[in-house]
Chains A and B, each alone.
Chain A
Amino acid sequence: GAVVSQHPSWVICKSGTSVKIECRSLDFQATTMFWYRQFPKQSLMLMATSNEGSKATYEQGVEKDKFLINHASLTLSTLTVTSAHPEDSSFYICSARGLAGGSSYNEQFFGPGTRLTVL
């Protein structure tokens, strides 16, 4: 149980285009989803936290107009990188926390990540 999927697993795009990344909880209801970014040989950096049906809470320094997050249902959250530039190239990872079988998870479960390369 507690499986999280992400799509696409990798994407290459031209500078100035927008990229959408999907994060899905496959076997539980994700009341909260988190979006992280990780540069090579660095730790995870939390970008934003989203709760189903409400606006995302962004961490300091993360541009909410550039990184659009939508958590429309209990199983799906999307991150859209708008007008992507080469400095946005990174490994984007979502995680989810929620409910399964009547119990609440305190743990976060991570998706496999999306590697974004902006040319």
Chain B
Amino acid sequence: QKEVEQNSGPLSVPEGAIASLNCTYSDRVSQSFFWYRQYSGKSPELIMSIYSNGDKEDGRFTAQLNKASQYVSLLIRDSQPSDSATYLCAVNRKGTSYDKVIFGPGTSLSVIP
């Protein structure tokens, strides 16, 4: 089982709709969770971070975390064509001898005008 899993997509939604991106992780001790957006040929940029169970909203973006289910999601409301990109889920694990962020393979989102 991969440490961080995402549907590769592509996920296509019409402009103005809600895009829902999902991510599951395997290690229960994971503590911090992040969503990054990556446009083609560019490096990732941070959208959201979430650390505790529940929802966290920032503008059109809402991150949801359920540690019991080892599940984190990102909702994008009022999707715009400029939201078309690959969305990377990332999970931070810390231990006595390690501290690393594991990225999922990414979900490609296409917002259709």
Which residues does A use to contact B, with CB under 8 Å? 32, 34, 42-44, 46, 49, 57, 93, 106-113
Contact status A107-B43, CB under 8 Å = no
Contact status B88-A109, CB under 8 Å = no
Contact status B104-A43, CB under 8 Å = yes
Question: A113 is contacted by which of B43, B46, B98 (Cβ under 8 Å)?
Answer: B43
Contact status B88-A110, CB under 8 Å = no
Contact status A107-B46, CB under 8 Å = yes
Question: A43 is contacted by which of B32, B34, B42, B105 (Cβ under 8 Å)?
Answer: B105
Q: Which of B43-69 contact A (CB under 8 A)?
A: 43-46, 49, 51
Contact status B99-A32, CB under 8 Å = yes
The chain A residue with its CB closest to the CB of B102 is A46
For the complex, what is the distance from the CA of A42 to the CA of B5, rounded to whole Å? 14
- Distance (whole angstroms) from the CB of A66 to the closest CB of chain B: 21
Contact status A43-B101, CB under 8 Å = no
Which residues does B use to contact A, with CB under 8 Å? 32, 34, 36, 42-46, 49, 51, 88, 90, 92, 98-106
Q: Would you call the interface of chain B mostly helix, strand, loop, or mixed? A: strand
The chain B residue with its CB closest to the CB of A44 is B103
Contact status A106-B92, CB under 8 Å = yes
For the complex, what is the distance from the CA of A32 to the CA of B92, rounded to whole Å? 13
Give the 7 A-B CB pairs with smallest separation, nearest first: A43-B105, A113-B43, A110-B43, A44-B103, A93-B43, A110-B44, A106-B32
- Distance (whole angstroms) from the CB of A35 to the closest CB of chain B: 12
Known contacts A49-B100, A107-B34: does B44 contact A44 (CB below 8 Å)?
yes
Cβ of A110: which chain B residues have Cβ within 8 Å of it?
36, 43-46
- Distance (whole angstroms) from the CB of A99 to the closest CB of chain B: 15
For the complex, what is the distance from the CA of A112 to the CA of B41, rounded to whole Å? 10
Contact status A112-B43, CB under 8 Å = yes
- Distance (whole angstroms) from the CB of A114 to the closest CB of chain B: 10
Cβ of B90: which chain A residues have Cβ within 8 Å of it?
108
